[in-house]
Structure formats: structure tokens, C-alpha cells
Amino acid sequence: MTATISLESRTEIHDRGYQGFQVYAQGMSGSMKEKAKILPYVREGNIVELGSGNGVVLELLAARFPGSNIVGVDISDTMLKMASERKYKSKVKFVKGDITEIEFKENSLDTIVFCSILHEVYSYNGYDRNILNETLMKAYKALRPGGRLIIRDGVKPKNDLVYLAFKNKETEEKFYRFAKDFGPYEIPFSQEKSTVRLRREDAMEFLSKYIYDVNWNIEVKEQFGIYTSDEYKKQLQRLGFNIIHAESYLIEWLKKTHYEKDVEIFKKINSELIRQEYPDSTMILVAEKPMEESKWAEH
């Protein structure tokens, strides 16, 4: 199916320019295989992706669940136009809207997908967890009992100190630029011989950003690690959800193509620097609305 989206009233959170949007969309499409990992957890029926971007996940959903009603919601006219131009194997509907404000009828949806969008909700709304949590609460209300919420996004690592050693001057210079430009706060670090000492969560933020060039000024303002996996789970449980799946991992492409060529990460143990694994880049979290709602659920 192909739909036409009017661009008469253009809306963009950030106007990346033609090249920026193309690079942004290519990144979405390039991660299609990774995003397909959410498909086994989708409940058929009424499926909504909030923050659907250029339609990569919608294409996956339409192919896997041809009998479902699939809706993509996004605020960006450019992304909606790109999504509408994809070829879908079954019907897909597009809705323009701010996912922090849009509301669906209570108990009406079988699956809600947030794919690489919750960190943007948080970052573009003043780094405010309350808005993020309100968005999750609305998702809970919209899901029917037994419905599922699927989150694929960045994940905050445990809070300890690590050391970064750069393998080339370009990556080192990118770090100093990142430390100054990072959106929510200036990154605290100290130099120790040939390394920089910083919090593991800040090292993760750097690793998630330094590969960007064209869209640097936008991406560097986003905080990918809002919650740890356990914090996400606790927040969803407070809303009334049951957690049915949680995993976090490092995308192998990032490790092989970028990290291993540019930077090493260490932890100091007994005054000795011990090589560490790179922090996880991605979390998949699946929560289910119980068939009988708990009286403790926060509404």
C-alpha cells in the first residue's frame, strides 16, 4: 500500500536538511535486521508504532502480520512522507501527531511499539522523566488486557568509573567535542596519562554519538541511556505491567566497524588497568498488561 502525506503544514522537531534526513533514514533502514528482533513478541490485531520514522518497522510488521491493523504515528512530515513511499505487503495507516500527546481509546490496542524513540521523547522535552513516564502510562491505558508494550532503545549501564584509550587522534578530538556539546550536561572527566577517566554511563553516551558527522549537532543533544534495564522494568511494573522479556546487548556492527578500530575501555583494579567489554548499545524490553489489572497500578 502507498499513501500520500500532505506537506503543506511542515512540522519537524529538527530540520536536518536534505542530506541529514537521508543519512538519518539510511541509519534506520540499515538496522532493519536488528529491529526484526522485536517481531516474536508482537501480539496480532491492532498494532501501533509510536515514532515510526521512515517506516522500517512498519514494513516488518506489515509483512509478518498481514491480517492486523497497523498504524504508524510520527510528528515529522519528512519521515511520514518517506514511510508512505515504502512498499508494504499489507495495509498500513499513517497518523501525524506528537506521541507524548496522542491518545487512543482505552483497552483498544494489542501491541504498542517504541523503537529508538523514547530517548528522543526524553531529550526533546527538557530531559524530563515525567513526560517519558506519562507517555508510558498512556500506552498502558491504550492497551487491552493481554496487550504488549515493546521498547527497543538505548540502555544506561551500571554506574562505575572506566578509562578510555583512543586509538587515533580523530576519535580523541571527537571525545573532547562531545564532552562539551552533550545535551543534558557537560561531561565530567579527568586525564590520566594516555587515558580519560569518566563514568561508564558517559562512556556509553560518547560511544553512541561519535560515529555521527552530518547530524552531529542533533544527535549529541540526545541522551540514549535514560534508565538502566532494571530501572525501566521497575517503572513499567509501577504502571501495572508484567515484564515478560528483557535483554540488552551490543550491536556487533558497531563493535567491529567502529569501536574496535577507535577506542578501548578499561577498569582500574588494584591499580592496574584491565580491559573491559564495551557497554551494551541496545535494550529490548517487552511488557504485558495483565488480564486483571492490579489495584496497585498507577493511573
Cα–Cα distances in angstroms (integers) from residue 157 to residues 152, 285, 296, in the given order: 15, 15, 29
Q: How confident is the model at residue 9 (pLDDT cuts 50, 70, 90)?
A: very low
Q: Which residues of 93-119 are buried (b: 16+ CB within 10 A; e: fewer)?
A: ebebebbbebebeeeebbbbbbbbbbb
Q: What is the pLDDT of residue 8?
A: 38
Residue 169 phi, psi (nearest 5) = -65, -35
Any idea which residue has 511542515 for its cell?
10
Which has more pLDDT, 158 or 274?
A: 274
Neighbours of 261 (CB within 10 A): 11
Q: Where in the chain is the domain with CATH 3.40.50.150?
A: 17-154+226-248+282-288
Q: Please state, in angstroms and rounded to a whole number, the distance separating the CA atoms of residues 47 and 114.
A: 11
Q: Residue with C-alpha cell 578499561?
A: 266
Tell which residue, 106, 88, 17, has the closest CA to residue 52. Answer: 88
61-77 average pLDDT score: 96
Average per-residue pLDDT for the chain: 89
Average pLDDT for 31-50: 95
Q: How confident is the model at residue 299 (pLDDT cuts 50, 70, 90)?
A: very low
Query: What predicted TM-score, i.e. pTM, was given to this entire model?
Result: 0.88
Cβ(147)–Cβ(72) under 8 Å?
A: no
Largest CA distance in the chain: 63
Cβ 206 vs Cβ 229: under 8 Å: no
Q: What is the mean pLDDT of residues 89-118?
A: 96
| pLDDT above 90: percentage of residues in the chain | 83
Single-letter amino acid code for the residue at 242: N
The three-class DSSP label of residue 166 is strand
Is residue 210's pLDDT more than 70?
Answer: yes
pLDDT band at 31 (very low <50, low <70, confident <90, very high): confident
The answer to whether 79 touches 68, Cβ cutoff 8 Å, is no
Do strands 109-115 and 46-50 pair parallel, antiparallel, or not at all (unpaired)? parallel
pLDDT beyond 70 at 295? no
Q: What is the pLDDT of residue 15?
A: 53
By CB atoms closer than 10 A (0-12, 13-18, 19+), residue 33 is exposed
Extended beta strands in 13-133, E state: 46-50, 69-74, 92-96, 109-115
End-to-end CA distance of the chain: 37
SS3 content of the chain, % helix, strand, coil (to 5): 35, 25, 40
Pick the CATH number of 17-154+226-248+282-288 from 3.40.50.300, 3.40.50.150, 3.40.50.970, 3.40.50.20: 3.40.50.150
